[in-house]
Amino acid sequence: MFKGSLVALVTPFQNGQVDQEKLRELVNFHLERGTDGLVPCGCTGEAFTLSFEERGEIIKAVVEEVRGRIPVIPGTGSSSTQVAIELTREAKRRGADGVLVISPFGNKPNPEGIYNHYAHIAKEVQIPIVLYNVPSRTGKGIPPEVVTKLSKISNIVGIKEASGSLDQVSHILSSCEITVLSGDDSLTLPMLSIGAQGVISTVANLVPQDMAGLVDAFFQGDLERARELHFKLFPLIKALFLEGNPIPLKGAMKLAGLLNGELRPPLAPLSVGNLDFLKRAMADYGLIEG
């Protein structure tokens, strides 16, 4: 259902508040550069710092600006199943095309608990759901056998795989037909090669045309062009994960003139040494002057 280069959209802030004007500007930036879908209110969007009301207003603004041209799939995950249901219900009310639901973080449920969490959400809200496996943030991965079981629920349509494991992706794709989207920018091409259908990307906030170009080239059978873009993007991707996402990303977008770089506490700006490294990577890419 969802495929291509989808962007894990940053949340722009101005003096501590969501900058709605800049948010709409970013939506059009992506529409003009080949992005296939937008994923606001995820980890890259600092969702854990957003209120329920802010999430609703962000989704509303993105949906209004997109006007049905590409899918909008906001993050609606929570450690609480009931809160995740409420967030998912709100996303549907605001016109989202689907939702991205991170597995419960902090409380580390067992496999049965993970299954029940997603099954309850899917039962309560009839909207396409993309699972989100990111054990580096949640402390607990979604086992492949749980993904296989969840894939039998009709409105669970995909999984964003950010485990960093091609074995995990291989287990999933060999056991069920759920759509896999890469959640690790640097593994997008390898994941596509074994059956993933696209990526929910961080680096595409900065260079959407190149990540979209990589995915398009792969599906057009131009593997040499896809490899060329993979190796071009690789050093920049690594620089964007020198510290916790989206700290380097917002620093990079500020350097590129796309954002003011404001983060919401407890996130703090990139350290000086890592900022110098990021500047070199951006200069090598041609995004800023060296």
What mean pLDDT is predicted for residues 68-97? 98
The one catalytic residue in 160, 250, 279, 285 is 160
Question: Is a pLDDT exceeding 80 seen at residue 48?
Answer: yes
| 72 assigned to some structural domain | yes
Domain membership flag for residue 41? yes
Residue 102 lies in a domain: yes
Sign of CA dihedral 3, 210, 247, 29: negative
Q: How far is CA 213 from CA 81, 228, 236, 240, in A?
A: 37, 10, 16, 19
Catalytic residue, candidates 115, 118, 132, 285: 132
What type of residue sits at position 281? A
Q: How many CB atoms lie within 10 A of CB 286?
A: 10
**pLDDT tens digit string along 215-235?**
999 999 999 999 999 999 999
Long-range contacts of the stretch 246-251 (C-beta < 8 A, 24+) = 246/10, 246/43, 246/44, 246/45, 246/46, 246/202, 246/205, 248/274, 248/278, 249/10, 249/44, 249/202, 249/203, 249/205, 249/206, 250/10, 251/275, 251/278
Q: In the block, which residue shows the tokens 């799939």? A: 73
Residue 131 lies in a domain: yes
Side-chain half-sphere exposure of 143, counting CA atoms within 13 A:
11
CATH number at residue 261: 3.20.20.70
Whether 49 is in a domain gets the answer: yes
Domain that holds residue 33: 4-285
Question: What integer pLDDT is reported at residue 1 of this predicted model?
Answer: 79
Q: Flag whether 45 is in a domain.
A: yes
Question: Is 266 inside any structural domain?
Answer: yes
132 is catalytic: yes
- Total structural domains within the chain: 1
> Exposed, middle or buried by CB within 10 Å (0-12, 13-18, 19+), for 265?
exposed
pLDDT band at 290 (very low <50, low <70, confident <90, very high): confident
Name the token pair of 229: 């873009």
* Predicted structure pTM score: 0.96
Position 290 in a domain: no
